[in-house]
Chain A
Protein backbone atom coordinates (compact mmCIF):
# COMPACT_ATOMS: atom_id res chain seq x y z
CA UNK A 1 0.00 0.00 0.00
CA UNK A 2 1.76 3.08 -1.25
CA UNK A 3 1.93 6.08 1.03
CA UNK A 4 0.71 9.57 0.27
CA UNK A 5 2.31 10.67 -2.97
CA UNK A 6 2.98 14.28 -3.79
CA UNK A 7 4.40 15.59 -7.03
CA UNK A 8 6.41 17.28 -8.08
CA UNK A 9 8.89 17.23 -5.18
CA UNK A 10 10.38 20.50 -6.38
CA UNK A 11 8.73 23.15 -8.51
CA UNK A 12 10.24 26.37 -9.80
CA UNK A 13 7.97 29.03 -11.22
CA UNK A 14 8.52 32.59 -12.41
CA UNK A 15 6.42 35.33 -10.89
CA UNK A 16 3.03 35.45 -12.54
CA UNK A 17 2.96 31.79 -13.59
CA UNK A 18 0.65 29.12 -12.24
CA UNK A 19 1.68 26.34 -9.88
CA UNK A 20 -0.19 23.03 -9.67
CA UNK A 21 0.61 20.73 -6.79
CA UNK A 22 -0.73 17.18 -6.76
CA UNK A 23 -1.50 14.86 -3.89
CA UNK A 24 -2.55 11.24 -4.28
CA UNK A 25 -3.88 10.01 -0.95
CA UNK A 26 -3.32 6.54 0.42
CA UNK A 27 -5.66 3.89 -0.95
CA UNK A 28 -9.03 4.07 0.72
CA UNK A 29 -8.48 7.54 2.16
CA UNK A 30 -11.18 10.05 1.37
CA UNK A 31 -9.97 12.98 3.49
CA UNK A 32 -7.15 15.29 2.39
CA UNK A 33 -5.53 18.23 4.17
CA UNK A 34 -3.10 20.76 2.72
CA UNK A 35 -0.52 22.61 4.82
CA UNK A 36 2.09 25.24 4.06
CA UNK A 37 5.43 25.44 5.86
CA UNK A 38 8.08 28.11 5.76
CA UNK A 39 11.67 27.26 6.81
CA UNK A 40 12.05 26.90 10.58
CA UNK A 41 8.31 27.29 11.08
CA UNK A 42 5.34 25.08 11.86
CA UNK A 43 2.60 23.64 9.67
CA UNK A 44 0.02 26.22 8.66
CA UNK A 45 -3.37 24.76 7.74
CA UNK A 46 -4.72 25.75 4.35
CA UNK A 47 -7.64 23.56 3.29
CA UNK A 48 -9.44 20.36 4.21
CA UNK A 49 -11.29 18.36 1.57
CA UNK A 50 -13.29 15.20 1.27
CA UNK A 51 -14.10 13.64 -2.05
CA UNK A 52 -15.69 16.35 -4.22
CA UNK A 53 -16.26 18.63 -1.22
CA UNK A 54 -14.35 21.42 0.50
CA UNK A 55 -14.90 21.02 4.23
CA UNK A 56 -12.81 23.92 5.51
CA UNK A 57 -10.84 26.44 3.44
CA UNK A 58 -10.37 28.99 6.19
CA UNK A 59 -6.58 28.84 5.96
CA UNK A 60 -6.37 29.43 2.24
CA UNK A 61 -6.10 32.93 0.76
CA UNK A 62 -9.29 33.90 -1.06
CA UNK A 63 -7.42 35.12 -4.12
CA UNK A 64 -5.13 33.11 -6.39
CA UNK A 65 -5.44 29.88 -4.37
CA UNK A 66 -7.86 27.04 -5.04
CA UNK A 67 -8.07 23.36 -4.18
CA UNK A 68 -10.06 20.40 -5.38
CA UNK A 69 -10.36 16.71 -4.66
CA UNK A 70 -12.32 15.14 -7.50
CA UNK A 71 -14.12 11.84 -7.41
CA UNK A 72 -11.34 10.33 -9.50
CA UNK A 73 -7.72 11.37 -9.42
CA UNK A 74 -5.47 13.31 -7.05
CA UNK A 75 -6.19 16.38 -5.01
CA UNK A 76 -4.86 19.53 -6.64
CA UNK A 77 -3.69 22.73 -4.97
CA UNK A 78 -3.54 25.47 -7.55
CA UNK A 79 -1.79 28.80 -7.13
CA UNK A 80 -2.35 31.33 -9.86
CA UNK A 81 -0.07 34.29 -10.62
CA UNK A 82 2.53 33.19 -8.11
CA UNK A 83 4.52 35.76 -6.15
CA UNK A 84 7.82 35.37 -4.28
CA UNK A 85 5.95 35.08 -0.99
CA UNK A 86 4.35 31.85 -2.20
CA UNK A 87 7.73 30.11 -1.97
CA UNK A 88 7.36 27.43 0.70
CA UNK A 89 6.97 23.69 1.26
CA UNK A 90 3.42 22.46 0.73
CA UNK A 91 2.41 19.22 2.40
CA UNK A 92 -0.70 17.15 2.08
CA UNK A 93 -1.98 14.53 4.49
CA UNK A 94 -4.70 11.94 4.05
CA UNK A 95 -6.77 9.71 6.29
CA UNK A 96 -9.82 7.51 6.31
CA UNK A 97 -13.00 8.71 7.94
CA UNK A 98 -13.76 8.67 11.66
CA UNK A 99 -11.08 9.06 14.32
CA UNK A 100 -8.21 7.74 12.24
CA UNK A 101 -4.69 9.03 12.06
CA UNK A 102 -3.41 11.07 9.12
CA UNK A 103 -0.35 10.35 7.00
CA UNK A 104 1.75 12.90 5.17
CA UNK A 105 3.37 13.06 1.78
CA UNK A 106 6.95 14.17 1.19
CA UNK A 107 5.87 17.66 0.21
CA UNK A 108 6.34 19.93 -2.77
CA UNK A 109 8.91 22.67 -2.44
CA UNK A 110 7.81 25.63 -4.49
CA UNK A 111 10.34 28.28 -5.40
CA UNK A 112 9.17 31.44 -7.13
CA UNK A 113 11.91 33.30 -8.97
Chain B
Protein backbone atom coordinates (compact mmCIF):
# COMPACT_ATOMS: atom_id res chain seq x y z
CA UNK B 1 0.00 0.00 0.00
CA UNK B 2 0.90 3.66 -0.22
CA UNK B 3 3.52 4.51 2.42
CA UNK B 4 4.04 8.17 1.58
CA UNK B 5 1.38 10.81 2.15
CA UNK B 6 1.99 13.77 -0.15
CA UNK B 7 0.04 16.99 0.16
CA UNK B 8 -1.53 19.00 -1.16
CA UNK B 9 -2.82 17.00 -4.11
CA UNK B 10 -3.04 20.15 -6.22
CA UNK B 11 -2.27 23.84 -5.89
CA UNK B 12 -3.25 26.94 -7.83
CA UNK B 13 -1.02 29.93 -7.11
CA UNK B 14 -0.32 33.35 -8.59
CA UNK B 15 2.95 33.94 -10.36
CA UNK B 16 5.46 35.33 -7.89
CA UNK B 17 4.02 33.55 -4.86
CA UNK B 18 5.91 31.04 -2.77
CA UNK B 19 4.64 27.47 -2.52
CA UNK B 20 5.24 24.63 -0.11
CA UNK B 21 4.42 20.94 -0.33
CA UNK B 22 5.31 18.03 1.90
CA UNK B 23 5.49 14.30 2.31
CA UNK B 24 5.01 12.33 5.49
CA UNK B 25 5.26 8.72 6.45
CA UNK B 26 4.91 6.52 9.50
CA UNK B 27 8.23 4.89 8.61
CA UNK B 28 11.79 6.15 8.87
CA UNK B 29 13.83 6.64 5.70
CA UNK B 30 17.46 7.46 5.02
CA UNK B 31 16.95 9.12 1.65
CA UNK B 32 14.35 11.59 0.39
CA UNK B 33 14.16 12.60 -3.24
CA UNK B 34 12.11 15.28 -4.97
CA UNK B 35 11.20 15.08 -8.67
CA UNK B 36 9.32 17.30 -11.10
CA UNK B 37 7.45 15.98 -14.10
CA UNK B 38 6.50 18.22 -17.02
CA UNK B 39 3.62 17.15 -19.27
CA UNK B 40 4.69 14.40 -21.66
CA UNK B 41 8.12 14.03 -20.08
CA UNK B 42 9.83 11.78 -17.57
CA UNK B 43 10.35 12.89 -13.95
CA UNK B 44 13.47 14.97 -13.40
CA UNK B 45 15.40 14.84 -10.14
CA UNK B 46 15.35 18.21 -8.35
CA UNK B 47 16.92 17.57 -4.97
CA UNK B 48 18.30 14.56 -3.07
CA UNK B 49 18.49 14.53 0.74
CA UNK B 50 20.57 12.07 2.73
CA UNK B 51 20.82 13.40 6.30
CA UNK B 52 18.15 14.12 8.90
CA UNK B 53 17.77 17.86 9.32
CA UNK B 54 19.52 18.55 6.03
CA UNK B 55 18.36 21.68 4.18
CA UNK B 56 19.34 21.80 0.52
CA UNK B 57 18.71 24.44 -2.12
CA UNK B 58 18.67 24.29 -5.90
CA UNK B 59 18.01 27.78 -7.25
CA UNK B 60 14.55 28.84 -6.09
CA UNK B 61 13.88 25.39 -4.67
CA UNK B 62 14.61 24.41 -1.09
CA UNK B 63 13.99 21.00 0.43
CA UNK B 64 14.43 19.71 3.96
CA UNK B 65 14.85 16.23 5.37
CA UNK B 66 12.79 16.15 8.57
CA UNK B 67 14.64 15.61 11.82
CA UNK B 68 12.48 12.57 12.64
CA UNK B 69 13.36 11.11 9.21
CA UNK B 70 9.65 10.59 8.60
CA UNK B 71 8.95 13.67 6.50
CA UNK B 72 10.29 16.14 3.97
CA UNK B 73 9.10 19.37 2.45
CA UNK B 74 9.80 21.24 -0.76
CA UNK B 75 9.52 25.02 -1.08
CA UNK B 76 9.49 26.99 -4.30
CA UNK B 77 10.04 30.72 -3.99
CA UNK B 78 8.84 33.41 -6.39
CA UNK B 79 7.02 30.98 -8.67
CA UNK B 80 7.15 31.41 -12.44
CA UNK B 81 5.02 29.86 -15.22
CA UNK B 82 7.58 27.14 -15.99
CA UNK B 83 7.19 25.78 -12.44
CA UNK B 84 3.93 24.21 -13.62
CA UNK B 85 4.02 20.43 -13.39
CA UNK B 86 3.68 17.52 -11.02
CA UNK B 87 6.04 17.30 -8.08
CA UNK B 88 6.75 13.91 -6.54
CA UNK B 89 8.54 12.96 -3.36
CA UNK B 90 10.24 9.57 -3.23
CA UNK B 91 12.18 7.41 -0.81
CA UNK B 92 14.48 4.42 -1.01
CA UNK B 93 12.68 1.83 1.06
CA UNK B 94 14.03 -1.28 2.75
CA UNK B 95 17.29 -3.14 2.39
CA UNK B 96 16.65 -3.64 -1.34
CA UNK B 97 16.25 0.14 -1.81
CA UNK B 98 12.83 -0.05 -3.39
CA UNK B 99 12.08 3.35 -4.96
CA UNK B 100 8.67 4.43 -3.66
CA UNK B 101 6.80 7.58 -4.74
CA UNK B 102 4.21 9.84 -3.21
CA UNK B 103 1.01 10.49 -5.13
CA UNK B 104 2.25 13.84 -6.45
CA UNK B 105 1.32 17.52 -6.16
CA UNK B 106 -0.05 19.14 -9.31
CA UNK B 107 1.09 22.76 -9.39
CA UNK B 108 -0.60 25.38 -11.55
CA UNK B 109 0.86 28.90 -11.74
CA UNK B 110 -1.60 31.58 -12.80
CA UNK B 111 -0.29 34.68 -14.60
Tell whether A pairs with B: yes
Tell whether, in the assembled complex, residue A102 and residue B33 are in contact, meaning their CB atoms are under 8 Å apart: yes
- Please, what's the 1-or-0 string for A24-61, where 1 marks a CB less than 8 Å from any CB in chain B? 00000001010100000011010010000001100000
Band of interface residues on B? 20 to 34
- Please, what's the 1-or-0 string for B80-111, where 1 marks a CB less than 8 Å from any CB in chain A? 00000010101010001111111110000000
In the complex where A42-B103, A99-B50, A101-B33 touch, is A48 in contact with B42 (Cβ < 8 A)?
A: no
The interface residues of chain B lying within 8 Å CB-to-CB of A99 are: 30-31, 50, 92, 97
Tell me which of B41, B48, B99, B102 contacts A93 (CB under 8 A). Answer: B99
Most buried by B among A31, A33, A101, A107: A101
Q: Is A104 an interface residue (CB 8 A)?
A: yes
Report the minimum CB–CB distance from B103 to chain A (whole Å): 5
Tell whether, in the assembled complex, residue A91 and residue B99 are in contact, meaning their CB atoms are under 8 Å apart: no
B residues contacting A by CB (< 8 A) are 30-31, 33, 35, 41-45, 48, 50, 86, 88, 90, 92, 96-104
Report the minimum CB–CB distance from B98 to chain A (whole Å): 6
Tell me which of A43, A97, A101 contacts B45 (CB under 8 A). Answer: A101
A residues contacting B by CB (< 8 A) are 4, 6, 31, 33, 35, 42-43, 45, 48, 55-56, 91, 93, 95, 97-99, 101-107
Determine the distance from Cα of A5 to Cα of B61 in the docked complex, in whole angstroms: 27
Tell whether, in the assembled complex, residue B100 and residue A45 are in contact, meaning their CB atoms are under 8 Å apart: yes
Report the minimum CB–CB distance from A96 to chain B (whole Å): 10
The interface residues of chain B lying within 8 Å CB-to-CB of A103 are: 45
Most buried by B among A56, A102, A105: A102
Report the minimum CB–CB distance from B106 to chain A (whole Å): 8
The interface residues of chain B lying within 8 Å CB-to-CB of A91 are: 42-43
Tell whether, in the assembled complex, residue B88 and residue A102 are in contact, meaning their CB atoms are under 8 Å apart: no
